[in-house]
A and B are shown apart, each in its own frame.
Chain A
Amino acid sequence: MIKKFLTTLILIIGILLLYIPILIIMLLSFNNSQRPYEFNGLTFKWYTQIFSDNSLFSAIINSWSIAICATIIATILGIFIALAINRMKQKYKPFVMFLNNMPILNADIVTGVSLMIIFTLLGFTFGRFTMLLAHIFFCIPFVVLSILPRLKQLDNNAYDAARDLGCTHMQAIRKVIIPGIKIGILTGALIAFTMSIDDFIISYYTTGEGFSNFSTWIYSRLNRRTFNPAAYAYNSIITIGSLLILIYINIGIRPGGKKIEKN
């Protein structure tokens, strides 16, 4: 009885700890006062301010454009890298997989600083381009990692069969291989997008010339008195948005369990 009570209690505390910050931010997004410690009435003005505060709005646009571009490019490159690794000889595979997994295991700060050094050595101007490069770089391993198991599951002869039935090399990849690993590609792209859109550390070290995405923008404003609560509003929109997507996916999967993969 006590044991059950305790587990429930710990569960409730855990959930609260996870959700209270989110709820607080949502609350603040409706707070009429600009200061977080005082509450004087509800308002929607911060939601309109997302669009009227130019620096915030452009940071948000930057975040999205970087995330979308990085996802697309990393996914395309990741597909080809995964295809190549899959066809590699068995004895080299573990080594290449190690190389692929290293950036994932590596601390963001190390990745960020080392990319900064490399970009400096290459003489790049820091800004949109370097940040995009960095994001592509750290997204690729996730894409590769989510595609490879799918490739392994694919019948070894699927490519041969496509060729045998009249496909050229590229047709076989497009008509048989890609559809066969579709779920892996979508998963990879989704992970890449998530990683990119909420990255701060690597972005911080690889940007410059006043180019900032949402996370670096918040960091640069954090200590100012004039911190714009429109950022809370944006955060709330993102939270509600993801929640809706999650609910939609879960409802979509449920009936008959059709969308769930067999394995």
Chain B
Amino acid sequence: MKKLIELHHINKSFDDQVILDDFNLYINENEFITLVGPSGCGKTTLLRIIGGLESVDEGQVIFDGKDITKLEPNERTINTVFQKYALFPHLNVYENIAFGLRLKKVNEKEIEELVKWSLKLVNLNNYEDRKIDSLSGGQQQRVAIARAIVNKPKVLLLDEPLGALDLKLRQNMQYELKELQKKLHITFIFVTHDQEEALSMSDTVVVMNSGLIQQIGTPEDIYNEPKNRFVANFIGESNIIRGKYLGDKLVEFENVVFECVDTNFEKDEICDVVIRPEDFDVVSLDKAKLIGIVTDKVFKGVHYELCVDINGKEYIVHTYEEAEINSQLGLAIDPFEIHLMKVPQIEKA
């Protein structure tokens, strides 16, 4: 795969507040990449830097082999779908979509064809003459996408585009955006704070926190093998327990020895053990490796979420069967469900 965008040592601060700190990232052609992180982690700023709407303090933005760091947004073949759509209310749907083409002095016949084409792509046939404020949120979203893709950019930037939509609509749009990306064969850079959205849509997920990349990988990698506590907590729910690697794929925590699959640890190295709530198996007490007391339960629809007290520590367990509060619960964990993480140097001391 060809690298389309390269970010080299990007530094950016606002009023002494560091937003991006020596940030490096490669983005491939035709990739659906998602930047995910809590608000204020620098993901939107990064997007604006790629789009040219924000300047960098230091560093380089390379696009298709050329340095575009100093280029104005109107000189880049990149288009953006903004968070609150930023449609132009004084123009109708047709003129909104034609806006970029008119600036490029495309002839009227071609504009008409392209506008029709892009409206068809976002399933809004015959909406040309509608006024912007007569459209629903979902429809405005589609117009915003059409307005961006009609310019045939090589990269489409999407800044939390689904944030204002209700759940059902959001799920539909996730699916449609994914389809759209496949149809158009262009790179999508998607920004969201919703980890589920990030996992379900992307080829690559970039987890960010306080201006730094925490982990880059496929959704599966990020979920199954989080690199650190931040990622483990931010992407899905996790139980994180301090443990000790005993060598030979054995790890000890809560005074019990478990088999695991990780090997890249020293003998007797302290490590963090990540167990996803759904990875616990509820078993009878005599087969259990861990025994705890159920302190709380919440019905979540597909499963029950239990709070289980084991040796004074609280664990979250997802199970399909109901359990009584204050009853004892036996738990077991398959070796491949146990993920070990390195402990940061500072915390070891």
Contact = CB atoms under 8 A, between A and B. Distances in A.
A205 B91 CA distance: 46
Contacts of B133: 262
B53 A166 contact: no
A179 B87 CA distance: 13
Given A164-B80, A166-B104, A158 B86 contact: yes
A171 interface: yes
A157 B86 contact: yes
Given A160-B53, A163-B72, A167-B103, A180 B88 contact: yes
A161 B83 CA distance: 11
A218 B323 CA distance: 94
| Chain A interface SS verdict (over half) | helix
**Which of A158, A164, A167, A175 has its CB near the most chain B CB atoms (within 10 A)?**
A164
B53 A163 contact: yes
B147 interface: yes
Contacts of A242: none
B74 A167 contact: yes
B84 A164 contact: no
A179 B103 contact: no
A179 B73 contact: no
B219 interface: no
A182 B89 CA distance: 12
A152 to B, nearest CB: 14
B51 interface: yes
B82 interface: yes
Given A165-B147, A179-B90, A160 B74 contact: no
Contacts, number: 68
Chain A, interface residues (CB within 8 Å), range: 20 to 34
B79 interface: yes
Q: Which are the 10 A-B pairs with shortest beta-carbon distances?
A: A157-B86, A165-B100, A161-B86, A166-B103, A179-B90, A157-B82, A163-B73, A166-B74, A164-B80, A155-B86
B151 interface: yes
Interface in B74-110: 74, 78-80, 82-91, 99-100, 103-104
A179 B88 contact: yes
Contact of A165 (B79, B84, B85, B89): B79
A160 B82 contact: yes
A176 B83 CA distance: 18
A52 interface: no
Chain B, interface residues (CB within 8 Å), range: 20 to 34
Interface of B: 48, 51-53, 72-74, 78-80, 82-91, 99-100, 103-104, 133, 147-148, 151
6 contacts: A155-B82, A164-B73, A164-B74, A165-B148, A179-B88, A180-B89
Contacts of B83: 157
A157 B44 CA distance: 13
Contact of B103 (A156, A158, A161, A171): A171
A175 to B, nearest CB: 8
Interface in A182-216: 182
Contact of B72 (A157, A168, A176): A168
Contacts of A164: 51-53, 73-74, 78-80, 148
Contacts of A175: 99
A155 B83 CA distance: 10
A163 to B, nearest CB: 4
A176 to B, nearest CB: 6
Nearest to B82: A157
A190 B103 CA distance: 32
Given A180-B90, A182-B90, A262-B133, A165 B53 contact: no
Contacts of A166: 74, 100, 103-104, 151
Interface in A126-167: 155-158, 160-167
